[in-house]
Structure 1
């Protein structure tokens, strides 16, 4: 029998199917992934020789290309760039919160993701952040965005209602429930604005 003229499987297909599996089940299992794709597990390793870690890194790159900016806007100051960087990053990863724990368990190595971090580092450096502080600033932003992406996938009711009529938390939950829009998105905006204020203080001290 002649071999097919086009590959039956590609790395991109594998990565996208893995992302779909994570969205549906909250977990990544390569044998199940191979079954979903209609191939043997060994066929997966032919395209992703690094196995599970390479698949996860492929997902990181896929989402990075969708949301993590690398472009510089003429005249844009560092705070506005960080706002745009964090907002795009969160939007892409908040759509797939089950991915986040896997991403934090391994070293960032995908070129598309590193390119976005490199642009962020360049912007912060040019704004006056010192080498001693710059990586800490990037880490704080990264932690905040990924935490917010996880929050986007949290239950609608994050905190159980309290039977105590004097519970301050319960009153806050009810007040927030009555507000328009998405609670997680509002919390993200508040947190990012607070972070920018703190980073500006760090920059000024430097």
Structure 2
């Protein structure tokens, strides 16, 4: 039988199907993905020779390639770049929280994602963060953003309201429900501003003459 003139599958088709599987089931399995696409598992390895690890990096790129900024804007402060970087990074994963554990389980190698992290590191370096603290700053921001993306996928009621009038937690739950907008998004902005303040203090401690 003659080989088809065009491939039956493309990398993007596989990645889109993998993301759909993740969103629907919370898991990523290559045999199940192959059955979903009505192909053999070997067909997936034809497009992703590195197997599951390469597929996960492909998903990372699919979600972040057009979302994460790779350059600061003219005149943009390091704080504003971090706000933009973190906000767009979080938005990339908010709709796909099941992808977060996969991303954190292996080394980041996707070129465009790495390029965005490189820009973040350069912006922080140019702002005065030294080599000893810079990677910790990037790690803290990364952990916070991905944790916030998971929080966005949490139940509407994360903590049960005991209904007790003497419970500060229950009073806070009721007060938060009465606030407009999304609880997770509000918490993200509050946490990010707190992080920026802490990072600025850290930078200034390392640079007594600043």
Give distance in 2, aligned partners of 1:30 and 1:161.
41
- 2:122 maps to 122
Give distance in 1, aligned partners of 2:166 and 2:53.
49
- 1:6 maps to 6
Q: CA RMSD in A?
A: 0.9
Give the TM-score, by structure 1 length: 0.97
Would you say how many aligned residue pairs link Structure 1 and Structure 2? 206
Residue 143 of structure 1 and its aligned partner are, at CA, apart by 0.3
Q: For structure 1, list consecutive stretches of 5 or more residues without a partner in the other structure.
A: none
Give the TM-score, by structure 2 length: 0.96
Residue 2 of structure 1 and its aligned partner are, at CA, apart by 2.0
3-state SS in 1 of match to 2:98: helix
Residue 164 of structure 1 and its aligned partner are, at CA, apart by 2.7
Q: Please, which moves more after superposition, 146-155 or 31-40?
A: 31-40
Give distance in 2, aligned partners of 1:66 and 1:93.
12
Q: How does 1:16-95 map to 2 (within 5 A)?
A: 16-95=16-95
Residue 89 of structure 1 and its aligned partner are, at CA, apart by 0.2
Give distance in 2, aligned partners of 1:80 and 1:63.
22
Structure 1 contact 66–92 (Cα < 8 Å) conserved: no
Structure 1 contact 68–116 (Cα < 8 Å) conserved: yes
Q: Establish whether residue 179 from structure 1 lines up as the match of residue 188 from structure 2.
A: no
